[in-house]
Structure 1
Amino acid sequence: MNAAPDSRPASAVKRQYGEGGLRKGKGRSFASRLVSSFKREKSLYLLALPGIAFFIVFKYVPMWGIVIAFQDYSPFLGIKESPWVGWQHFERFFANPDFLLLFRNTLAINLLNLALFFPLPILIALLLNELKEGLYKRFIQSILYVPHFLSWVIIAGLTFLLFAKGEGVINDMLESAGAQRMDVLTDPDSFWLMLTLQSIWKEAGWGTIVFLAAIAGVDPERYEAARMDGAGRLGMMWHVTLPAIRGVIVILLILRLGDLMDVGFEQIFLMYNGAVSQVAEVFDTYVYRVGIQRGQFSYSTAIGLFKSVIGLALVLLTNKLAKKFGEEGVF
């Protein structure tokens, strides 16, 4: 029996089967399919070209330097001529007494950030969403966004001006009120919390942008249905808004866990002093001291590779767990 003729418009047939009326995807090489896709979506590829070029030049090409982690690298010999030493630098790093100290400090600072900093942009976005006055809402958003554009040098300078024991503004106020001066900047017990509060003040407002965009996409009919069921504002937040942005929260949490071994060099380097060295020394500052100041490039590259592998493993693991619990995940 002859097949029934295709009754779809010619344009639909061409989109599926190509100009020749036959499916061209099967049996074709990846290069030919890529060329065909580029011809069809030329404007989109040109629009994405600067971003693609950025990642190729600054992300993928430098990955060639990873090989020096397995070499006794010398700048005079170059990558090709430097002798191969295998896992020697990794073994040296794991046997180093500083390894556990670095691991503890890095993990503690990041877990504290994860517990205190990560939920705050979600809460701020929920509260901003409840503001109905447009001008007032934009003013509050602007005030919250401003610290993001300040460099860590300025943040550190403000911290010293406020909390310096000798002439800090906060300590002057405490002394005038009859209280004792605080020694926050050189107190190891408060150093991790101080770093977390700095990060919250600088980045919490900026972090609300993604969540506000996700909230803006929530169907208003859901709120109407919840209101008709007797839900108040808190009830609509809990039963409508949070479930609607749960996927975004999970994705950002996965990406955040991927940076669990990265604390941020500049912030800690600026707040570092001898009194807090036992709680302030992390992988990033250690790599700077060993790799840049002492010129041990292969050893510091091995440390950086170790951090990257841990981050990749955490992303893969948390992404798999997210999919297991019904979330979309990152990929």
Structure 2
Amino acid sequence: MMIRFFLLLLSLLLMTVGTADAADKKTAHHAPPPLQCVAFSPYVGTINPDYGPSPPKELIDTLLDKIVKETPFRCIMTYGVLNGLDYTFTAAQARHLKVIAILWLDKDSKVNSQSISTGIHLAKTFADTIIKLSCGSEVRTRHGYQFDGEISRCLQALREAKVTQPITTIDTWWEWCNRSLHCEKTLFSDQVDWIGINIFPWWENTFSPLHSCTPAGQAADFHLARLHEVRTANPNKAVMITEFGWPNGPAKAESVNVKTGQRCGVASAENQALVVQSTFKKLAQEHLSGTVFEAFSENWKPSNEGDFGKYWGICQGEPPFACSKKLAHP
């Protein structure tokens, strides 16, 4: 009798496990694909963020239409909310685009305060469009620890305003590893809801003595390796690659590592497509979102980033622009 009881109990247990396993498989099968995004800045042509006129609304409309019609992306990441950039959210909402919104932070605390207050207003007004918020982008990379207080002030203000979107401060993977060879938590790890990391093996190939040679074919593995390091150091936080990419020009130009002299990066449209496609594929395998840099090349960038600065866009040239046809749907 006891044996029959245990056999019955075992059969019921197996049925329960089998049903749960089938349910898990069904859920996984029907889970929506991760949302993949593209970095968006309307400072194209002769428009410069440092001086001159702001991007007109008509231009923002034209650029977002181009993204919707000629790229697979239905999510953008934006860089600032002042100087006419606030219109981006109205335009994105009209096109059913989701937005990761960066509140730009820099040296001027008064301007930072305007960014914070405007960002809070936009986050509440466009609660269904803006899906994530960031207090600054690469503030530590640009300024060291000088403006850590401004980042914390922004994060606290967003908390006190009770915005519904998860908040972070986006920076390079190296800064989010606390500049440590053995990736570790930073001052901001406990202040944020999620972590946004920018990863560019192209620039590592140019400036890093540690990761001095990552060709395009290995870039996706490099991206995921850095992401996993940051996740290990911050096990209770979601981590997203908020910028990655590869320049498409000048055609066949090479990066030269200033420390080692190695030439491991070759700029080309083919390599750009390879890096974008392979990275999104690997992210999708782990059901992770990511943001490719960038939608439209910015002509003002060479003053900051050298000859390669204006060749990162998946859409090139002047209006009406030419978007890469080599991007499969993420």
Alignment TM class, shorter chain as reference: under 0.3
TM-score, normalisation: structure 1: 0.22
TM-score, normalisation: structure 2: 0.22
More helix by share: 1
Larger Rg: 1
Structure with greater contact order relative to length (CA < 8 Å, sep ≥ 6): 1
More strand by share: 2
